[in-house]
Amino acid sequence: MDPAPEFQPSRKTQAQSAATVKEAEDLMTRIHKGIASGNYECMICYGGVTRKSQVWDCGRCYAVFHLKCIQKWAKQGLDAPLPPNALENGGDRRRTWRCPGCQNPDSELPSIYECWCGKTQIPEVQRYIAPHSCGQPCGKGRISPRACPHPCNLQCHAGPCPPCTAMGPVQACFCGKESTQRRCLDTNYENGWSCQQICGDYMPCGEHTCPKLCHSGLCGDCEFEEELSCYCGRQSRLVKCCDKGVPLKSIQNVEGDAQQWIGHWSCKTDCERFFDCGKHKCSKPCHVVDLKPAHCPFSPDNITHCPCGRTNLNEILPKPRETCEDLIPACGKPCNKTLKCGHKCQETCHTDDCGVCLQTMEVNCRCGRTLSTSLCHQGNECEPPQCMRTCRIILNCQRHECGEKCCSGESGAMERIAASKKKKQRPLNSAPNRSDEVYEPEHICTRVCGKLLKCGKHPCPMLCHRGPCGTCLEASFEELACNCGRTVIHPPVPCGSRPPQCPHECAREKACGHPRTSHNCHGDENPCPKCPYLTVKRCVCGKKDIKNQPCWREGVTCGTICGKKLSCGSHTCKKVCHKDGECDELCTQPCGKLKTCGHLDTDSCHAPFQCTETVPCQSKLQISCSCGGIKQEVKCNATRSSPGSKGKEIKCNDTCRARRMAIALQIDPERESADKMGYSDETVEMYNEQPKQFAQSIEKTLRTFAEAQQKRLAFQPMKSQLRQFIHLLAIDFGLESESQDPEPYRSVVVMKGPKFTTAPKKTIAEFIRSSAKSTAFSTHAPTPAPTPIIEQLRKPVQQAVNALVLEGIRIGLLMNELEKELDPLLCASQLKFNIHWTADEEVVLEPKSGSFGMDEIELELSNMKAPLRRAVKTKGLANEVELCWVAKGGKIIHKENQRWATVLGPKGSASSSTPAWGGRPGIAIAQNGFGALDPSSASRMVALGGGRSSSESLREKERKEREKEKEKDKKKVEEEVVDDWEAAADEDEARNIQAEGGLLKGEEQAQNETADTDPSTAGGDAVEPLVPTRV
């Protein structure tokens, strides 16, 4: 049968039932209604006791607890050690635990959940009877009145049974003369009742009657007094009937008459009557007297041997004794009587008692390992002696050693350990052996644990044990309140309980005087929230007042350098705003003075002494070859007497010559390796198919993941086509990827494998544009470099820049010092810079590769130029700051103040002997890469002077055609707006290049026509390098 569902009363019903429980008259009703309404609490866990809970009730105070709670409580009490005085004076040695409600001791551990009357174990949950009741009649004996013969007839219930209301049996009085019948409640079953008449029963003596009123029990001893004589007849006195002894008859001859009496008590005086010899008196206390005197104990017929009893007197005396007064001689032999200790008496024959035994004996110590000699113990039990041997046996707790001197249980422990070693080890697949070792009483650990319990106040009272200590069994019977006192825990309160959480606001006042911030009441261990109000505070150094500082903040600093002179007199304090007196007493800053080599002295401050410069300078400097292609960083190693590495030069090698050849041919040697790290055709195709915003966000996320220290990246669930794009892009990045989880929650996880190095330098969009340019150039025939005439006809262009250069660097300035000075300004920029030196002792600030376009980089560099120039000149770091273009190898191709850069000729100097074309300044002769190596190309360039009119007409025609095409393109742009303006710009640029290809063909034909007519233009080695420009 399933238990009835638990009834859940509403809040109103709970409040009404709680009031009813408090107003209930008897304990039984309060318990039943409290459990039925869910308002009854267990005094151990403070949890509610319901119909479905397994409970246990105390038989004395009738408090109800959860069965598991009371079992845990009782077990901790039974495991606690006995108090030190428990075993003294015959105390109770049983371990007990106390009820949390009434503190009455009990020795049995609660183990069974049963109904209130104890007839049914695990009673069923029934809704229409009392909670935890079996529904049968109670049947328990009533408490009031005691010894009531009627059992309780109520249904199984909690609490004490009510008083009996039935009529009691007919009850006689104590003396049995009268009888009566009353209600059971008024009947005194334990004490009975008295009729208040004289008892009249015979006393134990059988002679007198009881004079008391009707009473319970026996009448007691007879206190009737009589005058009686003692046994010897010398004294007589009044003696109570109950104090009389055994009556004995005595007879004595007094002046020839026989006098008799009966004695009932002893007067304890000596008899002093003469024996039959008439010479010796009796020394016994008061006793029965006979008519004839007693025989003398010293008469010859009584004593036949010497005092020790070993020799007959006839063997000693020459003649037998005749009277009791004759001497009793000693035989002179050892007494040899057995003493109390078991030894024989060694004294000679004597009449008095034997003396003390003076024999020696060997006695074992308490542990039985040492023998010692001692006098006889006279038969008394004495404590055996102790040796100095320390017992090292482990106690039963397996944590402590015995440590006792001369332990009596050591021998038994050694036998136990030897027996345990002989046991066979159990197989691996068998159950563990139960520990059945019986420890000696001396090796049972009786130490108290003593560890501090979780409450933090009381030590653990249990015996030495393993594992954590239990909960504290102490309880407080005072209320535990929160800080404000509005939330209270009523007693009993278990030790270690924390104050209750209070839902009210904290009432503490702030020391600063500001209004309180709203927060709940809390204990003293948790401080109130910090005051958030903004105030003006004086900085630590006292120079400035800092505004908008939180009220709670202490030690506000203004951020300025202290600047006070140190004890050396050469340096100032570099610490940020601090308290007075916290400057360094001993200067530990670098010297900072310039040495003869131009570097700063990095040794510790040695003022006021001069720099020694005996140790080689450890500063770094760069040396290069004559062309600047090879650079090497070496130590200065200069001293006062030696220049060190300054002025040294590296010899050029084949790499330098190959670099100069590549520049002459307008080829960037580092470009091919950068272009090889591209993207697959599938990736590009998928990139074009996906939404631009999604594709760019995925690429940006992977690029950020590649630069970070993160090892694993998980994307959100997405469709299969989008996941395929991530897989392809991860392969191009050198990453590992896999899909996980079933649909529709399938997602992609990207990881950095051992083959990962770095992300591609170009984005997919940049790769597509560069591929389009290379494709456009590959579709046309190779075109020669433009001639000076074509350069004059072109629209003026603005050269592109990609870096900043610092000119005129201060002598002795180190790289780390420069980075420290420029760090605040560079951190404010959106770009990240690489700082390096050039062969001309200039510093280049080159932006790192990122997701910024070329136009954005140029705009950011232009905005940084002015503030950077002011900062550099103010601090004296350099003379000038210029924009420039830096090639892959770190070489500056051109600067902002130089319109065109030149390539060094064979002799190492720029070719400036060739005049500008047509006498116009600023236009140099340009040749293609092959023309730079062919001496005859100069004559062909000079021939262009005669064909100027034909080339101008051809160029004018082509210019008009391009203007028409541009007008058409503008109309198309006005009609439709492209999605990707960068791709559209690339297409326009490709069309312009294709148009310029036709123009260059016409110019080449003009050159061929005029090459023979104007030979004066031959000569000149000036070659214009390929410089990126921005239209």
Per residue in 72-98, pLDDT (tens digit) is 898 888 887 766 555 555 555 678 888
Residue 783: the pLDDT is: 44
Q: DSSP state, 870?
A: H
Digit-coded pLDDT (tens) for 686-732: 888 888 888 889 989 998 998 888 888 999 998 888 899 999 999 88
Which residues in the chain show pLDDT less than 50? Answer: 1-24, 672-676, 777-797, 899-952, 954, 972-978, 996, 998-1031
Q: What pLDDT, on the 0 to 100 scale, is given for residue 758? A: 78
What is the structure's pLDDT at 822? 87
Give burial (CB, 10 Å; 0-12/13-18/19+) of 453: buried
Q: Pairing between strand 833-837 and 843-847?
A: antiparallel
pLDDT of residue 75: 87
pLDDT score recorded for residue 1017: 36
Please state the pTM of the whole predicted model. Answer: 0.31
pLDDT, residue 1, reads 36
The SS3 call for residue 738 is strand
Closest to 149 in 3D by CA, of 172, 130, 125, 166: 166
User: Which candidate, 153, 175, 179, places its Cα nearest to that of 164?
Assistant: 153
Task: Give the three-class secondary structure for 37.
Answer: helix
**331 Cβ partners below 8 Å, 6+ apart?**
306, 308, 310, 311, 316, 349
Q: Residue 371 is encoded by which pair of tokens?
A: 């023998």
Q: What is the pLDDT of residue 65?
A: 92
Whether the Cβ atoms of residue 330 and residue 306 lie closer than 8 Å to each other: yes
Please name which of 976, 635, 972 lies closest in space to residue 814, comparing C-alpha atoms.
635
**Can you give the pLDDT at residue 1031?**
33
Output the pLDDT for position 693: 86
